[in-house]
Structure 1
Amino acid sequence: MKKSKIYQIYLDLLQKYGSPEKYWPQWCKKLKTLRDREIIALGAILTQRTSWHNAETAILNLKKTGLLSLKKISELQSSERLIPYVRVAGFYQSKPRRLFDLCTF
């Protein structure tokens, strides 16, 4: 049986870079908790048009301040309160607004 081209590319990447679980632990888990799904959703907004390093720093900032949850962010008075924690991810005006909109939906 001939392996597909895409599968071969996957194997090449796996050999070169290793398992993606190191970089995306929540995403690679088979069964995701509500918390995992929240982190994935917040991370998806924060990683847009920036490096994963900067998005991860913003996620860690939210975690340190106890704001890494939809409920906690929705309890804030405004999206502006998120700016200091997510500024590192760029688009410091729109990303906090999008996070807040997601959490208050």
Structure 2
Amino acid sequence: MLGLAFAMSGPPGGATGAGGAAGAFQQFITLALMFAIFYFLLIRPQQKKAKEHRALLESIKKGDQVVTAGGVHGKVASVEDGIVGLEIATGVIIKITKSYIAAINNK
């Protein structure tokens, strides 16, 4: 373990040479490149999916066939502020939170 610490340290005497500023700039470029990769591969697609889900929730109306995040299929009986009345069988209406609707299945 001690040998590894010496192998990772700089040259004896703490001299860094003329490459100190160039090394810092290279680390900054690497960090910026990593952030760009994370943005385009993770953050941006997730924001796009959230925007599509928000639009889906806004378009829900009475009579739509929907599927909840838990897999319950039903017909929308009522839409209030944040609560949806979902008819899962004839005369059986359950109330769910609007954000738990995963898809609309109007066929």
- Would you say same fold, with TM above 0.5? no
Give the structure-1-normalised TM-score: 0.23
Give the structure-2-normalised TM-score: 0.23
Q: Bigger relative contact order, structure 1 or 2, given CA contacts below 8 A and separation 6+? A: 1
| Structure in which a larger fraction of residues adopt helix | 1
| Structure in which a larger fraction of residues adopt strand | 2
State which structure, 1 or 2, has the greater radius of gyration over its C-alpha atoms. 2
